């Protein structure tokens, strides 16, 4: 689904400029939330408007025309969009986060896939594909779920097991896993995205059948030895992604509290004469929710900054730092979901209607808690690491 190039129209800019452009776009995003949810995807004109802000360049290396921004700048941009609409925030996160992989692919492949750094891409880390080595590359067959943003991307990268004689090829570190970059013309999209939350993200299943991928478009997501040397690309990819995912949850919760505070000025609960803003229960619960959200946000940004400072100094991050990062992420996602539930409940019966943004915030925030990176077992794994034990999963 090729679109016209917009990169020529985006002047040299900074992360601060992008933040200001995004701020100007947020009212339009809020006004289209119902449309986005009903369409189950972002409208192309809104994607183009996001591209014009430059937001998708934030994770692309400067050497390729991107911003190569810090993790905190990535998080702040995603959080701002998510406060306007959860699905748009999630798609922004996927586009920004998938574009970070421009720093993991060799120079030849990166310049082909990210020739226009303003374009979002879609990425799937799960190794649900099968890759067979042939002269000059691999042939790939597979089907992947949860391809967020696939309806407005031109490239997909996805994980594969390398196969030999019909079985996964095993290395000293376990099965060999590679990630391959495939143009959308070679990808089939399956209309599977009928869900309870983040409905507008277009996160359909995708599949490919016997597609050739040249060697220069193959990379190893989890092997930093092939990544660019700049600090952003030396951060553990899973942790960098989780920090961005958390920003969506934080933004949704921020939007919910702001909209509850606005509603409370005029809403009169049944059988009362005072508006909700004058009810003690609303005052107490809103204050508690603000504390919960503020604490979760501070912990998330603090741990992200801690890892960033470490890699920026050329040092290796410690197991304790990694564990704290995962704890902060899990706590933030759970807190975000709790805050949106509180806001939705306090709004009363009017919030159960589909037209209410508060019920949408609650559904979107709840959907994020189902992502594998913030699953309940991560508490155990992080606790093991903090107690000096090895995690029981291969990627932590």
pLDDT confidence tier of residue 174, bands split at 50, 70 and 90:
confident
pLDDT confidence tier of residue 291, bands split at 50, 70 and 90:
very high
pLDDT confidence tier of residue 361, bands split at 50, 70 and 90:
very high
Please tell me the distance from the alpha carbon of residue 120 to that of residue 55, in angstroms, as a whole number.
9
Name the CATH superfamily for 235-386: Butyryl-CoA Dehydrogenase, subunit A, domain 3 (1.20.140.10)
pLDDT at residue 10, as a whole number = 43
Please tell me the distance from the alpha carbon of residue 81 to that of residue 142, in angstroms, as a whole number.
32
Instruction: Give the chain's radius of gyration (CA, Å).
Output: 21
Q: What is the mean pLDDT of the chain?
A: 95
CATH number 3.30.2320.50 given to 7-113: no
**Full-model pTM:** 0.95
pLDDT confidence tier of residue 395, bands split at 50, 70 and 90:
confident
pLDDT confidence tier of residue 11, bands split at 50, 70 and 90:
very low
SS3 190: strand
Burial letters 134-154, b for 16+ CB under 10 A, else e: eeebbbbebebebbbbbbbbb
pLDDT at residue 270, as a whole number = 87
pLDDT confidence tier of residue 328, bands split at 50, 70 and 90:
very high
Range with the poorest average pLDDT among 4-8, 91-95, 209-213, 226-230: 4-8
**Over pLDDT 90: what percentage of the chain?**
90
CB-count exposure of residue 58 (10 Å: 0-12, 13-18, 19+):
buried
Kindly tell me if the per-residue pLDDT of 245 is higher than 80. Answer: yes
Instruction: Match 């449309």 to its residue by tokens.
Output: 35
pLDDT at residue 355, as a whole number = 85
DSSP conformational letter for 164: E
Strand partners, 123: 157
Kindly tell me if the per-residue pLDDT of 195 is higher than 60. Answer: yes
| Start-to-end Cα distance in the chain | 36
Residue-range domain boundaries for the chain = 7-113, 122-221, 235-386
User: What would the CATH number be for the domain defined by 122-221?
Assistant: 2.40.110.10
For range 54-75, the mean pLDDT: 97
Instruction: Match 């030999």 to its residue by tokens.
Output: 164
pLDDT at residue 4, as a whole number = 44
Please tell me the distance from the alpha carbon of residue 159 to that of residue 236, in angstroms, as a whole number.
17
Give the other-Cβ count within 10 Å of 50's Cβ: 25
């Amino acid at each position: 689904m090729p679109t016209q190039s917009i990169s020529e129209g985006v002047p040299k800019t900074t992360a601060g400029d992008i933040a200001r452009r995004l701020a100007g776009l947020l009212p339009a995003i809020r006004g289209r939330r119902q449309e986005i949810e009903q369409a189950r995807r972002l409208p192309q004109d809104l994607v183009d408007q996001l591209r014009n802000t430059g937001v998708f360049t934030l994770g692309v290396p400067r050497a390729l025309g991107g911003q190569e921004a810090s993790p905190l700048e990535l998080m702040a941009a995603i959080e701002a969009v998510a406060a306007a609409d959860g699905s748009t925030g999630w798609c922004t996160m996927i586009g920004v986060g998938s574009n970070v992989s421009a720093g993991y692919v060799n120079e030849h492949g990166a310049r082909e896939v990210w020739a226009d750094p303003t374009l979002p891409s879609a990425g799937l880390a799960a190794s649900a594909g099968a890759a067979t080595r042939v002269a000059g590359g691999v042939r790939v067959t597979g089907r992947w779920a949860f391809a967020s943003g696939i309806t407005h991307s031109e490239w997909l990268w996805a994980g594969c097991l390398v196969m030999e004689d019909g079985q996964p090829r095993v290395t000293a570190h376990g099965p060999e896993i590679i990630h391959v970059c495939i143009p959308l013309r070679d990808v089939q999209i399956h209309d599977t995205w009928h869900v309870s939350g983040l409905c507008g993200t277009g996160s359909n299943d995708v599949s490919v059948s016997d597609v050739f991928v040249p060697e220069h478009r193959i990379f190893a997501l989890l092997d930093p030895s092939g990544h660019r040397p700049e600090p952003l690309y030396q951060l553990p990819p899973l942790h960098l992604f989780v920090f961005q995912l958390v920003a969506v949850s934080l933004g949704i919760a921020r939007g919910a509290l702001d909209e509850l505070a606005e509603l409370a000025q005029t809403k009169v609960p049944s059988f009362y004469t005072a508006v909700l803003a004058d009810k003690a229960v609303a005052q107490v619960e809103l204050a508690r929710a603000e504390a919960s959200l503020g604490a979760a946000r501070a912990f998330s940004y603090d741990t992200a900054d801690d890892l960033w400072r470490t890699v920026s100094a050329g040092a290796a991050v410690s197991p304790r730092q990694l564990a704290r990062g995962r704890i902060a992420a899990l706590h933030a996602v759970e807190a975000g979901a709790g805050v949106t539930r509180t806001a939705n409940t306090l709004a009363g019966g009017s919030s159960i209607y589909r037209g209410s943004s508060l019920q949408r915030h609650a559904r979107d925030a709840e959907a994020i808690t189902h992502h594998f990176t913030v699953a309940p077992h991560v508490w155990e794994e992080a606790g093991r690491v903090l107690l000096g034990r090895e995690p029981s999963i291969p990627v932590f």
